[in-house]
Structure 1
Amino acid sequence: MKKIIKSDKENFDDPKYYINRELSWLQFNERVLSEAEDKDNPLFERLKFLSISASNLDEFFMVRVASLKDMINADYKKLDIAGMTASEQLSSVLDALHVFVKKQYNILNKKLIPLLTENGIVVCDAADLTGKEAEFVDRYFDEYIYPVLTPMAVDSSRPFPLIRNKSLNIGALLKKKEGKDDVDFATVQVPDVLPRIINIPVQDDGPKKIVLLEQIIQRNIDKLFLNYDVITSSPYRIERNADLSIDEDEAEDLLKEIEKQIKRRQWGQAIRLEVESGINKKLLSIIAQELLVDDNEIFNIDGPLDLTFLMKMYKIEGFDHLKEHGYKSSAPVKQFMDGDNIFDIISRGDILMHHPYETFENVVKFVENAAVDPDVLAIKQTLYRVSGNSPIIAALAKAADNGKQVTVLVELKARFDEENNIVWAKMLEKAGCHVIYGLVGLKTHCKITLVVRREEDGIKRYVHLATGNYNDSTAKQYTDVGLFTCAPAFGEDATAVFNMLSGYSEPLGWNKLSLAPLWLKDRILDLIRKEEEHAKAGEPARIIAKMNSICHKEVIAELYKASCLGVKVDLIVRGICCLRAKVPGVSDNITVRSIVGNYLEHSRIFYFENGGSPEYYCSSADWMPRNLERRVEILFPVENPELRKKLWHILDLELKDNEKAHVMNKDGIYVKAKRNENEERINSQKIFGDEAHEASKVLSAQNSRVFVPEMGI
Structure 2
Amino acid sequence: MNKELSHYVNRDLSWIEFNRRVLDEAQDPDTPLLERAKFLAIVSSNLDEFMSVRVAGIQDQIKAGYTKTDFTGYSPAGLWKRLMKRTTQMVTDQYRMYREVLRGLAKEGICFKSMEDLTPTQESAMEIYFREIVFPVLTPMAVDQSRPFPLVHTKELYLSVLLRKADDDSDEAPLFAIVQVPSILSRFVLVPGRTNSKKIEFVLLEELIEKHINTLFNGYTPIAVHPFRLTRNADLTLNEEGAEDLLEEIEKELRRRRWGMPVRLEIDKGMHPYALQILQEELEIGDNIIEIDGPLDLSFLMKFGGSIPGRDSLRYEKIEPVYPRELDEADDMFEVLRQRDVLMYHPYESFDAVNDFVLQAADDPNVLAIKMTLYRVSGDSVLVQALAKAAESGKQVTVVVELKARFDEERNIAWARQLEKAGCHVVYGLVGLKTHAKILLVVRREEDVLKRYVHVGTGNYNGSTAKLYTDVGLFTSHPVIGVDASALFNEVTGYSAPHDWKAFAVAPTDLKDKLFHLIDREKEHAKAGRPASIIAKMNSLSHQDMIDKLYEASQAGVRIELIIRGVCCLRPGVPGRSENIRVISIVDRFLEHSRIIYFNNGGEEEVYLSSADWMTRNLTRRIELMCPVFDASLRKILINILQLNLNDNVKARELQPSGMYEPVRNKLSPFRSQFEATDIPKWKDYID
TM-score, with length taken from structure 1: 0.93
Q: Is the 8 A contact 2:487 2:499 kept in 1?
A: no
CA distance in 2, matches of 1:41, 1:591: 27
CA distance in 2, matches of 1:173, 1:656: 58
Identify which of 70, 76, 94 aligns with 2:84.
Answer: 94
Aligned-pair CA distance for 1:74? 2.8
Aligned-pair CA distance for 1:326? 3.2
| Residue 380 (structure 1) aligned with residue 371 (structure 2) | yes
CA distance in 2, matches of 1:122, 1:14: 45
Paired letter, 1:684? S
CA distance in 2, matches of 1:599, 1:253: 38
CA distance in 2, matches of 1:118, 1:338: 48
- Alignment match, 1:465: 456
Aligned-pair CA distance for 1:346? 0.4
Aligned-pair CA distance for 1:335? 1.7
Aligned-pair CA distance for 1:41? 0.9
Seen in structure 2, the aligned counterparts of structure 1 residues 600 and 558 have a Cα distance that, compared at 3 Å, is: same
1:518-533 to 2 correspondences below 5 Å: 518-533=509-524
CA RMSD of aligned residues (A): 1.8
1:47-86 to 2 correspondences below 5 Å: 47-86=37-76
Q: Aligned residues: percent identity? A: 50
1:349-388 to 2 correspondences below 5 Å: 349-388=340-379
Paired letter, 2:381? S
| Residue 217 (structure 1) aligned with residue 206 (structure 2) | no
- Alignment match, 2:147: 158
- Alignment match, 2:6: 16
Seen in structure 2, the aligned counterparts of structure 1 residues 328 and 176 have a Cα distance that, compared at 3 Å, is: same
1:578-589 to 2 correspondences below 5 Å: 578-589=569-580
User: What CA deviation, in whole Å up to 9, does each residue of 1:624-661 have, x standing for no partner?
Assistant: 00000000000110121110111011001100001111
Aligned-pair CA distance for 1:226? 1.4
Q: Is the 8 A contact 2:45 2:299 kept in 1?
A: yes
CA distance in 2, matches of 1:365, 1:27: 40
CA distance in 1, matches of 2:65, 2:364: 58
Identify which of 145, 149, 166 aligns with 2:138.
Answer: 149
User: What CA deviation, in whole Å up to 9, does each residue of 1:489-513 have, x standing for no partner?
Assistant: 1111011101100112123411100
Paired letter, 1:151? P
Seen in structure 2, the aligned counterparts of structure 1 residues 119 and 492 have a Cα distance that, compared at 3 Å, is: same
- Alignment match, 1:426: 417
CA distance in 1, matches of 2:684, 2:406: 37
| Residue 285 (structure 1) aligned with residue 277 (structure 2) | yes
Q: Is the 8 A contact 1:609 1:615 kept in 2?
A: yes
Q: Is the 8 A contact 2:572 2:583 kept in 1?
A: yes
What is the DSSP-based 3-state SS (H/G/I as helix, E as strand, rest coil) of the residue aligned with 1:315? helix
User: What CA deviation, in whole Å up to 9, does each residue of 1:644-697 have, x standing for no partner?
Assistant: 111011001100001111111121110111032xx311111111123379999x
1:270-669 to 2 correspondences below 5 Å: 270-295=262-287, 297-669=288-660
Aligned-pair CA distance for 1:337? 2.4
| Residue 674 (structure 1) aligned with residue 674 (structure 2) | no
Q: Is the 8 A contact 1:15 1:81 kept in 2?
A: no
- Alignment match, 1:242: 234
- Alignment match, 1:170: 159
CA distance in 1, matches of 2:325, 2:202: 47
Q: Is the 8 A contact 1:658 1:682 kept in 2?
A: yes
Seen in structure 2, the aligned counterparts of structure 1 residues 101 and 14 have a Cα distance that, compared at 3 Å, is: closer
Count of equivalent residues: 681
CA distance in 2, matches of 1:563, 1:243: 37
Q: Is the 8 A contact 2:677 2:683 kept in 1?
A: no
CA distance in 2, matches of 1:690, 1:228: 65
Higher relative contact order (CA 8 A, sep 6+): 1
TM-score, with length taken from structure 2: 0.96
Q: Is the 8 A contact 2:67 2:77 kept in 1?
A: no
Seen in structure 2, the aligned counterparts of structure 1 residues 692 and 373 have a Cα distance that, compared at 3 Å, is: same
Seen in structure 2, the aligned counterparts of structure 1 residues 330 and 141 have a Cα distance that, compared at 3 Å, is: same
Seen in structure 2, the aligned counterparts of structure 1 residues 291 and 647 have a Cα distance that, compared at 3 Å, is: same
What is the DSSP-based 3-state SS (H/G/I as helix, E as strand, rest coil) of the residue aligned with 1:199? strand
Q: Is the 8 A contact 2:14 2:569 kept in 1?
A: yes
Seen in structure 2, the aligned counterparts of structure 1 residues 142 and 159 have a Cα distance that, compared at 3 Å, is: same
CA distance in 1, matches of 2:72, 2:359: 48
What is the DSSP-based 3-state SS (H/G/I as helix, E as strand, rest coil) of the residue aligned with 1:362? helix
**Bigger Cα displacement from structure 2, 40-49 vs 685-694:** 685-694
CA distance in 2, matches of 1:386, 1:685: 25
Aligned-pair CA distance for 1:322? 3.5
Paired letter, 1:243? D
- Alignment match, 2:15: 25
Paired letter, 1:614? E
Q: Is the 8 A contact 1:15 1:83 kept in 2?
A: no
Aligned-pair CA distance for 1:340? 3.1
Identify which of 254, 263, 266 aligns with 2:246.
Answer: 254
Aligned-pair CA distance for 1:131? 2.4
**Bigger Cα displacement from structure 2, 556-565 vs 138-147:** 138-147
Aligned-pair CA distance for 1:155? 0.4
Q: Which runs of 5+ in 2 are unaligned?
A: none
Q: Is the 8 A contact 2:637 2:684 kept in 1?
A: no
Seen in structure 2, the aligned counterparts of structure 1 residues 132 and 693 have a Cα distance that, compared at 3 Å, is: farther
CA distance in 2, matches of 1:145, 1:186: 18
What is the DSSP-based 3-state SS (H/G/I as helix, E as strand, rest coil) of the residue aligned with 1:210? strand
Q: Is the 8 A contact 2:330 2:336 kept in 1?
A: no
Paired letter, 1:557? D
Aligned-pair CA distance for 1:396? 0.7
Q: Is the 8 A contact 1:54 1:308 kept in 2?
A: yes
Q: Which runs of 5+ in 1 are unaligned?
A: 1-12, 700-713
Aligned-pair CA distance for 1:246? 0.5
What is the DSSP-based 3-state SS (H/G/I as helix, E as strand, rest coil) of the residue aligned with 1:406? strand
Aligned-pair CA distance for 1:128? 4.2
Q: Is the 8 A contact 1:411 1:437 kept in 2?
A: yes
- Alignment match, 2:28: 38
What is the DSSP-based 3-state SS (H/G/I as helix, E as strand, rest coil) of the residue aligned with 2:146? coil
Q: Is the 8 A contact 1:380 1:450 kept in 2?
A: yes
Q: Is the 8 A contact 1:408 1:435 kept in 2?
A: yes
CA distance in 2, matches of 1:492, 1:282: 67
CA distance in 2, matches of 1:612, 1:694: 21
What is the DSSP-based 3-state SS (H/G/I as helix, E as strand, rest coil) of the residue aligned with 2:301? helix
What is the DSSP-based 3-state SS (H/G/I as helix, E as strand, rest coil) of the residue aligned with 1:571? strand
